[in-house]
Amino acid sequence: MATQSSHSQQLMRSERRMFSASDDSAMMKQIQSTHSPDGRFLDVKPILQVIDNVLRHLTPTIDHHALNGGQGHMDAIDDSSATMDSNGMLEALAFLVHKISCEISCKCSGGGDAHATTMVLLNTLSSYSWDAKVVLTLAAFAVTFGECWLVLQLCTTNSLAKSVALLKQLPDILEYSHTLKPHFDALHKLIKAMMEVTKCIVEFTELPSQYISSDVAPMSIAVAHIPTAAYWTIRSVVACAAQITSLVGMRYEFVTSTSEAWELSSLAHKVSSIHEHLQKILHLCHQHIDEKKQTEAYEGLKHSFGTPQLDNSKILLKIFSLSKEDPHSLLGPDKTKVHIEVLRRKHVLLLISDLDITHEEIQVLESLYKYDRVTSEVNYEIVWLPIVDRSAWNDSYQQKFLSLQSMMPWYTVNHPSIIEQAVVKYTREVWNFVKKPIVVTLDPLGKMTCPNALNMLWIWGNTAFPFTTDREASLWKTEAWTVELLVDGLEPNLSNWVRQEKVICLYGGEEMEWIESFTSAIKNVAQFLGIGLEMVYVGKNNAKERVKKITGLINERQLSHAWQDANVWFFWKRLESMLFSKTQHGKTNEIDVIKQEVMTLLGYDGSEQGWAVFFSGTNMVRAKGDKVLNAIQSFEQWEDMARVSGFISAIRGHLEGIADEHHCTRLILPGITGGIAETVVCAECGRTMEMYFMYRCCDE
């Protein structure tokens, strides 16, 4: 709003300069003194449409005659709708229009002063609104000179028209049509400018008063300058009439004179400038109205979500900006238009994202929606709600949207443009959508049950149905920090390894030398102790290409198991989701073991070293690269303990006895709103970590 107010002030200053340049205050007072409206309403739109049809064919007719050797021609115009709407109205106004026409013809024929004639017309029309004054004056002009041009068109084919044209000396116009071209061009420009200003004035009167007040900017600026615009439009009518009157029975001196054409061109320039400034004000008015409408829609959406509903239909209609009369702007899974009724009384998951949602995210959701949903017999629907910047929309974004839409086997909007700004504002201010995709869940009655169920979907899949905040909390109560929670279904052999009581090692990083040393050393220890060991390389977050290269080397040299790209991505996505989910439920990492361990692994990933975590049953130990490698290479120091208490307990005891001279722990998380607590403690030493802002661009 502050920006619009600034625009309004700047416009007001430029308007004041523009209008006051030649319109002194005395003349403006004189114009205002003629205005005494009696409150009557006149719908001028149908009349203006008829006028437009007449005036559009005035000057082109002359050029057409010249080019066709004087052969008459009548352009086909469909005036049926305008005629029906304006018939009765014009019948009532016929006398007034005739009176104005006579006034114009009389003054122009006698060579009267243009300003004086304009003031006479304003006084005649004193009881009408400013838009009606201008339209009625234009109607009188169109009647008189439309008749003249009609006779000119028919004079070569109709004997009556020929006789009338002869009496009016209209054939001379045809004779001098090439010489008169500058006059006709100037006339055409001025008529065009007059019509543009008139339409603009009329448009101001049609602005909805419930959204914009005449005493508040920018509308107040328009109200102040519409009288001036009306004056110069009516004065332009007088000038055009005088020009056309001069063409009838003209003398050679007039034909060769260019002063009249110059005067019309100057007037056209002024009226065009007035139109340009009025358009700027009108644009600000439309902005103001749109903001008011969006605020109203936003408050309406808030009210609907806060009010118990009979079903979810009303909420969905508002979210997708649909009307009950045309509720078909959604596309179904087969990409055909569907009725909003298909979602009625269903659990609906709103997938909210921009156009940067990843293929991996879509693929995991597709698996949950198309396959797991059927086998687990849960009933919900997903609808994609793309949030885009309309001002930057282009063909490239359109193609990207269509590409993403084609990948999604669920419901989508027909086009992002149907999503109103009020809904965009609601997603950002209430549901905290910024950049990363979120999934908002609505129950069959349209009640929002979770502001972001995406974390639940990543962690537990369809087991979390119906994806409510309460369901999320109950699921966490049953969880412990185990290898099953950490790996979930990413490793198909996991259940066998656990059953066989093997030591399971997950490790990461991107330093190949460390990976080779670590895997070789731990294999030797396992062989020496005679224990089963399985190792899985889980890569590094947001380093797809580098991890792919390392995975290839690990597989080639048979160092350990290594996951494919999709599993590596999902492993780290689930870890982030666990942290966000825990934080949203108000858990602090000091007392929440799962959250503390998740943050530790994310911190390891933020460092430049490798890392490893070992699981055996309910026992677990983890450490960063050099520390864990040195411990394994110092196996002889804790070998006896390992044979007594087991591998996990022994290496944990050894690691706890190693004092770090220096450590630098970094926890790098994607930007979200309201997701991370301000206080985070270091997993290595327990001290409060400092918070920094990091901006990152990584095309991997």
Range in 72-81, 165-174, 306-315, 430-439 with the lowest mean pLDDT: 72-81
Whether 677 shows a pLDDT value over 60: the answer reads no
pLDDT digits (tens, 9 = 90+) for 541-557: 888 899 999 999 999 99
pLDDT at 598: 92
Pinpoint the residues of the chain covered by CATH 3.40.30.10. 312-474
- The reported pLDDT for the residue numbered 619 is 92
Among 192-196, 307-311, 347-351, the minimum mean pLDDT is found in 307-311
Q: Which of 608, 582, 613, 611 is nearest to 680 (CA)?
A: 582
Query: Looking at residues 393-400, what average pLDDT do you find?
Result: 94
Q: Ranked by mean pLDDT, which of 184-198, 244-258, 494-508 comes out on top?
A: 494-508
Q: In what order do the strands lie in the sheet with 337-338?
A: 337-338, 330-331, 411-413, 380-386, 347-353, 438-442, 448-450
Side chain identity at residue 605, one-letter code: D
Nearest to 58 by CA among 167, 145, 183: 145
The whole-number pLDDT of residue 659 equals 60
Model confidence at 103, pLDDT cuts 50, 70, 90, reads confident
**Sheet hosting strand 619-624, strand order edge to edge:** 561-562, 533-537, 503-508, 611-616, 619-624
* Model confidence at 536: pLDDT above 80: yes
Mean pLDDT of 325-343: 83
CA distances in angstroms from 199 to 45, 193, 458, 472, listed in the order given: 9, 10, 57, 59
d(CA 373, CA 364): 12
Q: Using H for helix, E for strand and C for coil, what is the string for 144-196?
A: HHHHHHHHHHHCCCCHHHHHHHHHHCCHHHHHCCCCCHHHHHHHHHHHHHHHH
So what's the pLDDT on residue 81? 45
Q: What pLDDT score was predicted for residue 215?
A: 87
**Residue 434, Cβ neighbours under 10 Å: how many?**
15
- Is the pLDDT reported for residue 15 higher than 50? no
Residue-wise pLDDT for 626-670, tens only, equals 899 999 999 999 999 999 999 999 999 999 887 665 555 666 666
Q: Which residues touch 207 (CB under 8 Å, ≥6 apart)?
A: 219, 285, 289
Measured CA to CA, the distance from residue 660 to residue 96 in angstroms comes to 99
Q: How far apart are CA 696 and CA 505, in angstroms?
A: 31
Counting beta carbons within 10 angstroms of the beta carbon of residue 308, is it exposed (0 to 12), middle (13 to 18) or buried (19 or more)? exposed
What does the pLDDT average to over 64-79? 43
Read off the DSSP letter of residue 218.
Answer: T
Among 146-160, 318-332, 465-479, which stretch is predicted with the lowest mean pLDDT? 318-332
Look at residue 194 in the predicted model and tell me its pLDDT: 94
For the residues 216-227, what does the mean pLDDT come to?
Answer: 89
Q: Which long-range contacts (CB under 8 A, 24 or more apart) does 621-627 make?
A: 621/648, 621/651, 621/652, 621/655, 622/597, 623/655, 624/663, 625/509, 625/511, 625/514, 625/518, 626/514, 627/655, 627/658, 627/660
Which range among 89-98, 184-193, 615-624 shows the weakest confidence by mean pLDDT?
89-98
- For residue 588, pLDDT over 70 is answered with no
Which range, 93-107, 329-343, 669-683, is most confident? 329-343
- Reported as a pLDDT band with limits 50, 70 and 90, residue 148 is confident
Distance CA(450)–CA(466), nearest Å, equals: 10
Predicted confidence at residue 325, as pLDDT, reads: 52
pLDDT band at 252 (very low <50, low <70, confident <90, very high): very low
What is the reported pLDDT for 9? Answer: 47
> 409 is written with which tokens?
């086997």
Tell how far CA 574 is from the center of its chain. 30
pLDDT at site 486: 95
Name residues whose C-beta falls within 8 Å of residue 19's C-beta, 6 or more positions apart in sequence: 225, 228, 274, 277
Residue 489 pLDDT more than 80?
A: yes
More confident call, 383 vs 170: 383
Look at residue 483 and tell me whether its pLDDT is greater than 90. Answer: yes
- Residue 103 and residue 124: Cα distance in Å, rounded? 10
**Which amino acid belongs to residue 283?**
H
* Model pLDDT, residue 71: 43
Mean pLDDT of 24-47: 87
Q: What percent of the chain has pLDDT over 70?
A: 80
Q: Give the number of other Cβ atoms within 10 Å of residue 119's Cβ.
A: 19
- Return the percentage of the chain with pLDDT > 90, whole number: 52
pLDDT at 687: 65
Q: Class of the 312-474 domain?
A: alpha beta
Question: Could you tell me the pLDDT band of residue 74, with boundaries at 50, 70 and 90?
Answer: very low
Determine the Cα–Cα distance for residues 446 and 307; give it in Å rounded to an integer.
10
pLDDT over 50 (residue 22)? no
Q: Which of 92, 191, 99 is nearest to 144 (CA)?
A: 99
- How high is the pLDDT of residue 126? 93
Would you say residue 432 has pLDDT above 70?
yes
Q: Quote the pLDDT of residue 165.
A: 72
Q: Which residues contact 466 (CB under 8 A, 6 or more apart)?
A: 347, 378, 380, 441, 443, 449
Tell which residue, 254, 80, 66, has the closest CA to residue 178: 66
pLDDT-based confidence at 12, cuts 50/70/90?
very low
